[in-house]
Structure formats: C-alpha cells, structure tokens
Amino acid sequence: KTGQMPRLSKVNLFTLLSLWMELFPSAEQQKKSQVKCLDKEKKLPLRMDLLKNCQLLFKVKKSGLVVVKNMKIIGLHCSSTDLHAGQIALIKHGSRLKNCDLYFSRKPCSTCLKMVVNAGVNRISYWPADPEISLQNEVSNPTSTEDAKLDAKAVERLKSNSRARVCPLMCYMVQFIEETSTKFDFIQKIAKSQPDCNTDFYTACRQERIKEYESLFLISNEEMHKQILMTIGLENLCENPYFSNLRQNMKDLVSVLASVAASVPVFGRYGFYRSGSQGTSEADDQCLPQDVARHCMIQARLLAYRTEDHKTGVGAIIWAEEKSRGCDGTGAMYFVGCGYNAFPVGSEYADFPHMDDKQKDREIRKFRYIIHAEQNALTFRCREIKPDERSMIFVTKCPCDECVPLIKGAGIKQIYAGDVDAGKKKADISYMKFGELEGVSKFTWQLSPLHTNALEFHDPTARENGVQKTKSLDDQQHQSKKLCLGHY
C-alpha cells in the first residue's frame, strides 16, 4: 500500500481523549456501587440526605478534560466526586492555564467557565451533547427546576471564546481504525487461543462498546438534541445540513472510540501481568488495577493514530502516582507526557525516507530518521519524573533496544506493553533488551499466569513450546459469556 495512510487530526485526538477521560475508572464509583449493593441486601431504611446527594450526582455529569498548550497535551483530567474537571484544571495548573486550549467532553458549567476564562485560556472546546449540568431532564420535563437552564444562560454570557468542536474524520478513517484494531497485537494474541484464530470476539466487544458509548455521548432523540443545542446557544447547528452532518460526525467519532477501546478488551483472563524476573522493589512490582492499566493503554492506542509511519503506528503515554490521593478524578495518578512515532518536529512529508526493511538500499530506509513514541513522550513531558514516585509508561508495542535504556535512565519504574516482538532481531531494529531489562517492572498483555499455571497443573500438555494451545469450543463459549463484563 502506497501513499499516506489516514491520520487523526490533532483536534479529533484531543476530542476523543476528552471523551475517554470521562470514562476513567473511579475508585469512588467502585466503592459506591459496593455500598449500594450492601444496602440493597440489608434493606436499610432510605435516608433522605443520601437521596438528595444522588439527585445532585445525576444532575451534574462527570466530564473529561484535555489541557493543550502549543498543540501539546499538558494535562488529562476528569471530574471527581467533589470537583468538576474545570475546577481540577485550575487547582493543578493555576495561572499556567493562560493561552491554553481546553477540550471538555461536555460544555462546562458557569462555575468552571468563569474561573478558566479568568485564567486567560485561549480557547474552550466542548462536545455538543448534554452539558455538564444536564439538560436532558429539563427538556423532557419542562416543569422541573430551572437551575440547569439558568446555568446554561450564565454560560452563554461567559462563553467568550468557547465553541463546539466536532471535526469530520478523514475519508475511510472509521473503517481504517476498525481494521487496524482487529490486527492489533493484543487482539491477535487472544485470537491465537481461539478456534481457527478467529476475531469474532473483537467484533462482539466493539458492538457492545458502540452501544454503551452512543448512550453516553450521543442524544438518540433528534428533537431533544436540537432543544439542548438551542439552550446552550448552538441554534445555528440546528438547521440541515449542519445538524445531520454534526450528528454523523459525532457518531463516527464514537465508533472510532469504540473500535480502539475494544482492541484492549475485557476478555477472559487476559490483562497486564508481570513478565520475567525484575530485580525491583515490592512497591514497583505492584500492578495497577486492570481497568486503570487498560484505560491508559487505550489512551496510548488513540495517540498511535497520529503516527507518521506508514507501516506501524505506536503510541506512548507516561503517568505517575503521588504519595497521597489527589483531588482529580484520576486519584493519585497524574499525567506526565505522551507521544507517537513521527519524523523530527518541523520536517515536511518528503524530507526523510519512509521505506521499511523491504527496501534493499539501507540508506533510504526510515529507521535512522523516525523518532519513536517513547522518545517523544520523554522529550515533550510536562512534568519531571520523580525518583520517589511510581512512574509508568504505556506503549502499544514492545519497546526496542533504542528506547529501553532511555526508559530506565529516565527513572520510569514500570512498563506496560505488548511482548509480541520481545527477543526478536529484525533488519534495522531489535527487541533484545526488553526481556533482559532489570530494575524496571514489566507488565505485558497475556493470559493471567495464575490461570495458565492452573491449566498446566491440570493438563501438562496445555502448552506447546511455551505457547498456549487452542481451547476447545466449550472453553471458547464459556469465555465468550465473560466477554463484555467489566467497564469497557
């Protein structure tokens, strides 16, 4: 295949990341769901103060936020139980928000907007569906309290430089992302354990995600969507063809998010587990909760679609964990930096070779010119990597021999990655150092070692040359039942 492959625009990348940050797994939500289950079982008497809090929670919707400066991401945030995403950005960045662009997953409320406008932000972009102070209840029940409408009016007065941003995707982008997600290493690793190496489980998971995200990020009723757009000052988008184009563009972006999220699926016993002896401390050997690790890897997967490499898009993202739990919806975790594989900043498309190792003339191959995703994440980080904190990098591909020493030298404590290429030596690039790396905890996408050990204990022939053998149809059906359990 020749020519440039489709890329996500930066605006669409920031938009998708803001939607995805809204889905960051919340420890508070998990605790609350457990408490609710216990209360149901015990049939405790209904408390009016709790009911009032629940009503408030339903009214204020969780939102995700991407903070961008000079077209580089400097913050990824989401609402917590106490604070909205805009308030968190103000606490975390303060006056550094000046001249930043903010991408919200919902139109922010007046409380957030007045503070970020006061901080001197350059532009506020938001997803044009139900805002942070939900209007869906207002539209369907006009006799209900007018608070949400009053807030929407206040936001209109404050809006200054805020706008709805939904840019159309490049031609074939939805199809391209679905196809490449099916071929992604994590999906292929699971497929090898399925009868006939099929990827039907991916298709089923993607459909589940589309259904879930459409109900969350889209408004199915066209009239209700129009009324909400008019209430939040977007009446110019209510006429066709603008309205139908807007809805199609929103639907396409949700499909893209679902395709990418399904490529790191909740499936059977697959997840990120320690690989090999590490020579690391007990704290650094502690894996993140699987849903958090999966969420961060999907962030890296989204970044990979900005690649300038024709053959393989790679994304990398660095997070770190503070000693105490912060005010952010991400808990103790905070964003450090991110990147994707690309040619040096400022270069034009034709400045450097784009050929891979199939090109016999080694001088016109890309390998000596392309900057790897991990290298860009380290170069353009917005926070320092602190030696006394647990820092982690999520990479969509096994780090190569060029990047492994950089990751270790930077003081990163954990690597989450695929290991399909580990131990391989290719024409211009090798992956020998990853397996030998010590002093950094490695968590690779694999079948849970506990599950693998149990299989081997009951059936020593369950592995051939260290590779899991194909499961029976009964096992496959049992695993399919588990397919769409979990948040993603």
CA angle 140/146/149 to nearest 5° reads 80
Contact in structure between 66 and 76 (CB atoms under 8 Å): yes
Residue 95's alpha-carbon distances to 85, 100, 120, 322, 367, in angstroms, are 16, 10, 8, 22, 41
Contact 393, 296 (CB under 8 A): no
Phi and psi at residue 464, in whole multiples of 5°?
Answer: -125, 120
Instruction: Give the residue among 22, 29, 236 at the shortest CA–CA distance from 108.
Output: 22
Phi-psi region of 423 (alpha: psi -120 to 50; beta: other; left: phi over 0): left
Residues in contact with 129: Cβ distance below 8 Å, sequence separation at least 6, in sequence order: 106, 217, 218, 219, 225, 228, 250
Tell me which of 22, 132, 138, 374 is the catalytic residue. 374
Full strand arrangement of the beta sheet holding 72-78 = 72-78, 64-69, 101-104, 123-126, 162-164
Two tokens, residue 18: 């803001």
265 vs 162: CA distance, rounded Å: 35
Alpha carbon distance 373, 304 (integer Å): 8
Q: Which residue has the tokens 């901080």?
A: 119
Name residue 356's amino acid: D
In angstroms, the CA 153 to CA 395 distance is 43
Based on the residue annotation, tell me whether 374 is a catalytic residue of this protein. yes
Gap between the terminal Cα atoms of the chain: 32
Q: What is the 3-state secondary structure (H, E, C) of 60-119?
A: ECCCEEEEEECCEEEEEEECCCCCCHHHHHHHHHHHHHCCCEEEECCCCCHHHHHHHHHC
Contact predicate 116/241, CB 8 Å: no
Burial class of 111 by CB neighbour count within 10 A (0 to 12, 13 to 18, 19+):
middle
CA atoms of 267 and 447, how far apart (whole Å): 10
Residues annotated as catalytic are 374
